[in-house]
Structure 1
C-alpha cells in the first residue's frame, strides 16, 4: 500500500495549476455536464471552434474561471494528469439502445470520475480485496456453452458460504467481497444501474432512490453480470439481461430454501409473507415461485396484474428499510478524523460536490478540524477497513410455511 501522504495522479494542487491545463479533463467535464460543444460555447460566449481549440490543446491558457463556472466543476479539476476513462464496451447497461449518445457520454464520464474517487480511497485505506469468481470458476461445465445463471447463483452461494437462507444485507455483503458500490447522480437515474470491471476491481453504480427491495435485486442483477459476463459485450443482447435476472432471482431466493416453505397450495396473501422473509419485492417473489414450479402461468399473470393495480410496480408498500454502505460510512468517518470535509474533498479531487454526494449515496463528512489541511501519520500504515458480510436471517423452518 502506498504511503497515505502520497497524492494520487488524478489530484491537483497549486503547482499543477501553474503548470498545465489538461484539455482532456475539459472534454470529460463537458461530457459529464451533458453539453454539446455548441451548447457549451453559447454558455461561454465563444464560438464552437474556440471550444474545439480548447479541447484539442491548441490554446495554452483558456479561461478556466469561466469554464469552471459554466460546467460547475472546481477549477482544480482541469489540472493534473489524464483521468483513466471507462470505455463503453466495459460497462453493462440494461437499455443502451434507448440512451442518446450525449446521455451515454455523460454517464460514462461520471463513472470515470467516480473511479478517480475510488483511487483516492485505495491510496489511503486498505479495503477488502475483490473476491468475485468468474463463470468458469462457478460453472466449469459451461465454459464452451451458454452460462447457466441458476447454477452460477447456487455455486456462488456455496462458495461464499451463504447456505440457503435470506441475505440480510446485500450491500454490505458485496462490499465485503471487494465490490465498490456507488450511487448514480440524480440526473442519470433513468439509467437504473450498471456495473463494470476496471483494473481487477468490480464496480456497481445504482439508483439509491428506488425501494430497498428493488435495490437488492439490482445489486444481485449486477453481481450476475460481474460474474457471468466479464469481458463480454452485453449491451445489445437481451439474453444477457435475462441471464442476470435469473441469476438475481436464484441468488436472492434459492430453490432449496423456498421450496420447503410452499409445499401446499399458494395464495396471493402468502406472497406478502414470503417477500418480507426473503427481503425482495412482491413481484420478484411471484416470478421466483413461477420459476421453481410452485405457481402456474395463469397464477403468475393474474397476480402480476393484481399487484400492478395495487401499486407494487411503482413502489413497494410495507417495504423494508434501506441498506446503508458500511464501507463508505467507515471511510467518511476516518476521513473526518484526518481533517477532510466534503467541501475539501470536492476541491482537492476536483469533483463537483453534488456528484460526490451522489456517489456517497447521501453520506457527507464535516471535518473535526474545520477546513484545515488533512493530517496523516506516515509511521502508521493505512487503516485496515473490515466489512462484515451481510448477516443471514433466522434459519427457515424445516416445516412448510403454508
Structure 2
C-alpha cells in the first residue's frame, strides 16, 4: 500500500511545494496532491524519481509513517521578518518531527548526563511571569535572567557558548533555511528544546548572538503563542530576546571596567580587542555601551557614521579570522553509538528505508562522516546495549 503521508512528509522535509515536486518529476501539481491524499498511486518510474530526489528506498513510500507530531507552529520563535511565512513554518515542524524521532532513537541506548536546561527554564519562567519583590521593572528582570543563565550554564568565555548550550540539554542543528532566516528555536510537545541555525555563511560573533537570542526565547517565551501575536507584540518579544542576549553575552560590571580602556569611543576600530574577548560584534558592543550611558548621543551618532564610512555594517574586522563553531553533540552521539556497536548503521537505514545521504542531510552531518560504519557488524557488550555517555556514568 502506498502511503501518501510519507510523500508529503519528505516533500515538506525537503522544503518543496507540490508545484516544485511536480516539475521535478514531470507530472501535474494535481497528480502530486492525488498521490499524497492516496486517490491515485504513482507509477513505479515516478516512485524511482521520488527515491532519487529524497534519498530514500522505494519501500519508504509503502511503509507506515513513523514520526509523531511533536512540534507546532505556535511555539516556533522566528525573527520578525520571517514570522509571516506560515508555509515555511509548517515545513519546519515536519523537519523537527523527523529530527526529534531520530535523535531519540540514538539516545535510547545512551545514559546521557543530566540536563540543566529544565531547572534553568523553571527558574527563568518563575521570574519572567511572576516577578520578584526585589526585581520589578522589565529591564531588571531580563538582566537578572541573563545573569542567572550565564552562571547556571557556567559561561566563562563566550567562545564556549554553543558547547555549553549543547551540554545543557539543548539540541542544536544546522540546516539550509535560505538567506532570510538566521535561526529559530522551540520546545516540542515532548519537552525537547531545539535551536536550529541557518548554514548560510555567517561570522562567528553573529552566530553567538543568534544562540543567545534563541536561548532567551527558550527560557522566557515557551508559553507564548507566537503565531497569534500582532506585529507590534512580536516586536516586543523580539526586543526582549535581543536585550537578554546583550545582557547575557556582555556582563555589565566586567564590561564597564573594560570599556574604561577605550580612548576613542566613537571609533569602531577601538572595539576590536573587546570583540575578541566577548565574541560579539562591534555594533553589539557599542550598543551595550550606549545603553549603559558610556557614550553620549553625539558619540553614538558619530560611531554609526564611521561604520558607514568604513563599510563595517555588513563586514567587520576579524569576521573572517574567527572560526565559526559548528554543533558537535549530535555528531559525537552518532560516532559514539555506531563506534560502540549500540546500533548498526546498515540495519538502521534498512529499518527506516532511507539512504545515508538522507540521514546526513537531516542531522547536518558532513557527507561521508558515517561511511566508515557502513560495514559494521552488531556486537553486544555484556548483555547490555546501554553505555553511559559521560565518563563518570552520571
Give the length in aligned residue pairs: 366
Asked whether the equivalents of residues 90 and 197 of structure 1 are also in contact (C-alpha less than 8 Å), the reply is yes
* 1:149 pairs with one of 120, 123, 142: 142
Query: Residue 37 of structure 2 aligns with which residue?
Result: 56
> Is residue 25 of structure 1 aligned with residue 6 of structure 2?
yes
TM-score by length of 1: 0.78
**Unaligned 5+ residue runs, structure 2?**
132-136
Aligned equivalents of 2:274, 2:359: Cα separation in 1? 37
User: How far did 1:305 drift?
Assistant: 3.7
1:124 corresponds to which residue? Answer: 109
Q: Deviations over 1:365-400 (max 9, x none)?
A: 244454355545472343322499xxxxxxxxxxxx
**Deviation digits for residues 168-206 of structure 1 (CA, Å, limit 9, x no counterpart):** 311110011001100022x53531100011111111000
What corresponds to 2:310 in structure 1? 310
8 Å contact from structure 1 (residues 202, 226) kept in 2: yes
The residue that corresponds to 1:395 in the other structure is none
**1:201 equivalenced with 2:184 (yes/no):** no
8 A contact 2:170–2:192 mirrored in 1: yes
Tell me, yes or no, if structure 1 residue 188 matches structure 2 residue 171: no
Answering whether residue 50 of structure 2 is matched by residue 67 of structure 1, we say: yes
Equivalent residue, structure 2, for 1:158: 151
The structure in which a higher percent of residues are helix is 2
Measured after TM superposition, the shift of residue 93 of structure 1 is 0.6
In structure 2, how many angstroms separate the alpha carbons of the residues matched to 1:112 and 1:22? Answer: 17
Distance (whole Å) between structure 1 residues aligned to residue 308 and residue 111 of structure 2: 45
Match of 2:292 in 1: 292
Structure 1 unaligned blocks of 5 or more: 1-19, 389-402
Cα offset, 1:95, TM superposition: 3.2
Residues 279-311 of structure 1 deviation map (CA, whole Å, 9 limit, x = unaligned): 111111111112222122332333234234434
- Rate the CA distance shift 1:48–1:260 in 2: closer, same or farther, 3 A: closer
Report if the CA contact (8 A) 1:213-1:316 is conserved: no
Match of 2:389 among 382, 385, 388: 385
The TM-score with structure 2 as length reference comes to 0.79
Q: Is 1:95 the equivalent of 2:80?
A: yes
**1:115: how far off?**
2.1
Q: Of 24, 31, 44, which aligns to 2:25? A: 44
More displaced 10-residue stretch of structure 1: 213-222 or 309-318: 309-318
By how many angstroms is 1:129 displaced? Answer: 3.8
Q: Are the equivalent residues in 2 in contact too, given 1:166–1:253 (CA < 8 A)?
A: no
Structure number with the bigger relative contact order (C-alpha 8 A, sep ≥ 6) is 1
Q: 210, 216, 223: which one pairs with 1:231?
A: 223
How far is 1:264 from its partner? 6.3
Q: In structure 2, what is the Cα distance between the partners aligned to 1:212 and 1:276?
A: 11
> Secondary structure at 1:195's aligned position in 2?
strand
Report the Cα offset of residue 113 of structure 1: 2.4
1: distance between equivalents of 2:23 and 2:171? 38
